Chains A and B, each alone.
Chain A
């Protein structure tokens, strides 16, 4: 038991060291501004444009169900018009960035790990290295930058569609008085909530891209290795997003209080 426990800890710490090293290399490479624009644009298209349908559906139905659930609870204490305010704050600072990131982690994180993992097992990454191309420059940096650009944009979409859908459910279906609902929403939602959401989305973009690339680059040989790398990329990215969300929320909210935002 001790042996397996210490091996697991050693592997975990080793992995943490490797991903830290990959992050350092990727940031250093980003600072050289040598990224190929064609690759970057393709990755923005793949991560951003192609993820829109998933993010829009998730944002819309999350906003709708949140509006309905909040309404049913608030209705008991005659606070119906506070419904949209709760939805707005939740969508901007928590649900928008987190759910968008989880959906993108499922779609894009898996695809990144599978693509790079397949390249590794078919020696394409070794071929890159023999062609005097650093795999981090060619494979990691465009994905990292693209995810950092695409995630905030997708998050804004999710916030907007979630609030719009909640307005439709609250006002259109559940009969909340629109003027007070709107007034309360504007009163209790702040620009800082949107800013917190956007900062989180940039961090989550980095997490998805780096974990996907790391799992692909360290993928074990064979179809099973690629399958495992793909699964682990999604699971680890999702768990990291959920855990970091807590720390980000606490840190950013404290920062907002300190800076009086």
Chain B
């Protein structure tokens, strides 16, 4: 279970998160939405301990990770897999080396076992036979799939996705959404997806958190979010730049 309590974070004079609190149960698939620059990725990085908050707490299975040093966090991060916005593949390694990275560091598996697990993970993300390619030879969508394979290969309990469909065409975005659902259902993982793609949010989430003005503005199911008449929620869902247009539509 993930629990965030009264999280506050500023970068210099700029406040990004100001009292964010929520809870994610095991096995849930939660989508975090909000405007660009609104602190969604910052919030995600707090959940895995890549950033430390100014105040507040982040509990992973009732263990507060705020204030832990990097070595203590490494142990907690074994529960996580993370897919980055730009995939963040190691460009000096092949696809297979990227996917097998965690296993090679642990040194408790034979090369044959690692190769089998890599093949299975690549199969899972619909990229069989790409083991020997370099990240530079892959398209944006393929890179994200490899990033996902790398995140799920050691079967984490929680998978975090940082804008998995940003910059991809609708067809590739659809395939990534299906992959997220497949991983969630097959591996029974808790998924936390940061996105501003509303179609993706509706498909992959069974719970939605909306960040607005540095706080959680909405915490509900996708159905109730999409049925909402709140002007701020509607403005975001309908993608309207001028809030007056939303108010005119509602009245």
Point out residues on A near B: beta carbons under 8 Å: 36, 119, 122-124, 126-127, 129-134, 138
Contacts and interface: CB of A to CB of B under 8 A. Distances in A.
Given A126-B45, A126-B50, A127-B82, A132 B102 contact: yes
B88 interface: yes
B78 interface: yes
A134 B85 CA distance: 21
B74 interface: yes
A78 to B, nearest CB: 60
Given A131-B102, A131-B105, A122 B77 contact: no
B5 to A, nearest CB: 22
A109 B82 CA distance: 31
B90 A130 contact: no
A124 B48 contact: no
Interface in B76-93: 77-78, 80-82, 84-86, 88-91
Contacts of B75: 132
B70 interface: yes
- Ranked nearest first, the 3 interchain pairs of A and B with the lowest CB-CB distance are A127-B88, A123-B88, A130-B82
Contacts of A138: 105
Contacts, number: 55
A119 B86 CA distance: 12
A123 B50 CA distance: 11
B63 to A, nearest CB: 15
Contact of B70 (A119, A124, A126, A134): A134
Interface residues of B, number: 25
Contacts of A36: 105
A135 to B, nearest CB: 8
Interface in B55-102: 70-71, 73-75, 77-78, 80-82, 84-86, 88-91, 101-102
A124 B77 contact: no
Contacts of B73: 129
Contacts of B82: 126-127, 130
Contact of B86 (A123, A129, A132, A133): A123
B50 A124 contact: no
A123 B88 CA distance: 5
Contacts of B88: 122-124, 126-127
8 contacts: A119-B90, A122-B88, A126-B50, A127-B88, A130-B80, A132-B75, A132-B77, A134-B74
Contact of A123 (B70, B78, B80, B84): B84
